[in-house]
Amino acid sequence: MIGPGEYVPDVTEGITCIDDLPQPKVVRRSRNYPSRRCPRCGQRAGRCGITRRTLHDLGDVLAGRPVDLLVTCSKHKCPHCRLRFTADTSDLAVPKCHYSKRVQNLAVLLVAEDGLPYRSASWHLWRDHRVFVPYATIQNWVEAAGEKKAGQPLHHLPRRGPGRLQRLPGH
C-alpha cells in the first residue's frame, strides 16, 4: 500500500509515443436549451443549431487518466435584432480556452502562491492531476491574472496639475 509522502515513480515517465499515454475519460455536459434570452435586446431567441466544445479538466487521480469535458451548446439567433450567440459556458471555461477554470486557477495558484517555476508547474499538473498544460500557457495565465482589470474606477488616482497632485484646496 502506498502511504502519504512516499515517492512513487510516474507510470507515464519515459513514454515517447503519444498513443501509449492513457486515454482520457470523457464527461459529457449539456448547455443545450430550446430558447434563450438575447443578450442585446432581451427577446426570446430560438435554437438554430448545436455545437460541441472539448475542455481539458483536472484528471481522475484514482484511475490515472486525464478528463475531457465534452460540452454540448445550443446556438441561437434572435429574430428581432438578428444576433447570433451560443449558450453561456462561462461557468466552465473562459471563451476560446481549451482548459476549464479549475485547471487555470490551480495553475496560477501553483506559480503565484507555491512559487513553482512554470515548467515545474506544468509537470506537477500532469503528474498529480493528469492534465497537460504547456508552461508558456501557464505563463500567459499568470501574467493575465496580475493585470489590472478593465472597468476599475480610477477616481482615486491624482489628476494632472499641481492643485490635484498636491491636494491643494480650490480648483
Note whether residue 13 is domain-resident: no
Per-residue pLDDT at 148: 43
In total, the chain counts a number of residues equal to 171
The percent of residues above 70 in pLDDT, for the chain, comes to 82
Note whether residue 9 is domain-resident: no
Note whether residue 52 is domain-resident: yes
DSSP, residue by residue, the chain: -PPTT-----TTTT---GGGSPPPEEEEEEE--SEEE-TTT--EEEEEEEEEEEEEEEEETTTTEEEEEEEEEEEEE-TTT--EEE---TTT--TT-SB-HHHHHHHHHHHHTS---HHHHHHHHHHHH-----HHHHHHHHHHHHSPPTT---TTS--SSHHHHTT-S--
pLDDT tens digits along 139-157: 999 999 885 445 555 555 5
- Label residue 15 by pLDDT band (50, 70, 90): confident
Per-residue pLDDT at 146: 80
Where do we find the cell 515517447? 16
Question: Quick check: 160 pLDDT over 60?
Answer: no
- Label residue 158 by pLDDT band (50, 70, 90): low
Question: Quick check: 171 pLDDT over 80?
Answer: no
pLDDT tens digits along 60-94: 878 889 999 999 999 999 999 999 999 999 999 99
> Do the Cβ atoms of 42 and 72 come closer than 8 Å?
no
Note whether residue 1 is domain-resident: no
Please provide the average confidence, as pLDDT, over all residues in the chain: 86
| The total number of structural domains that make up the chain | 2
Same domain assignment for residues 36 and 90: yes
pLDDT tens digits along 32-62: 999 999 999 999 999 999 999 999 999 987 8
Question: Quick check: 123 pLDDT over 80?
Answer: yes
Q: Which of the two residues, 57 and 19, has the higher pLDDT score? A: 57
Same domain assignment for residues 88 and 128: no
> Do the Cβ atoms of 2 and 11 come closer than 8 Å?
no
Q: Which residues of 32-71 are buried (b: 16+ CB within 10 A; e: fewer)?
A: eeeebebeeeeeebeeeeeeebebbbbbbeeeeebbbbeb
**Dist. CA 168–CA 171, nearest whole Å:** 8
Q: How many CA atoms lie within 13 Å of 160's alpha carbon, on the beta-carbon side?
A: 0
Q: Which domain holds residue 133?
A: 99-147
